[in-house]
Amino acid sequence: MYTIREATHKDWPGIWTIFKDVVSSGDTYPFAPNMTQQEAQEAWLNAPKVTFVAMLGEDVVATYYLKDNQPGLGAHVCNAGYMVRKDQRGQGLGASLCKHSLAAARILGYKAMQYNLVVSTNVGAIGLWKKLGFDIIGTLPKAFCHVKHGLVDAYIMYQILENEDVNPV
């Protein structure tokens, strides 16, 4: 059984193993495949508002972060990113992480969640995000340089977290 908890710096080695595997594939994240471990740690663990890990016993098997999508007057909308260790994929962990992130985002006071660059060839993620209440609100033509397919479209996906007026002022 998985346990999802806030990440600490002690979790970084496990997160890094997942991160470098996912990013090196060049098919879902815009991070450079040759990103250094220090750059990755800054982007995934240090810069976000909060990072979580999914644990199976003592092993980090997945991770996600939440951060403001924009500063200031756009800070009421969060952005999230998810990564699951290759041997744990296809078992519902991605859905569990997304559900956890939606609840965490609400607790943190976010009014909506936005995914800025969902690669159009990542049909599994697109289907999951739609199933969990996200809508495609825009298409970015040829916005992602896929390692196998070249330039492909990317989607902006969005979900309102509350039904009340979104007015942070």
Tell me the domains of the chain and their CATH numbers: 3-160 (3.40.630.30)
pLDDT of 82:
98
How confident is the prediction along the chain (169 residues), in pLDDT tens digits per residue?
899 999 999 999 999 999 999 999 999 999 999 999 999 999 999 999 999 999 999 999 999 999 999 999 999 999 999 999 999 999 999 999 999 999 999 999 999 999 999 999 999 999 999 999 999 999 999 999 999 999 999 999 999 997 544 444 3
> Which residue, chain included where needed, has tokens 């951060």?
67
d(CA 112, CA 155): 16
Q: Which one, of 128, 92, 108, lies nearest residue 51 by Cα?
A: 108
> For residue 15, how far is the Cα from the chain centroid?
13
What angle, 0 to 180 degrees and rounded to 10, lies between the N-to-C axes of helices 93-107 and 123-131?
50
pTM of the model: 0.93
Q: Give me 35's structure tokens.
A: 């990103």
Q: Which one, of 124, 107, 90, 126, lies nearest residue 52 by Cα?
A: 107
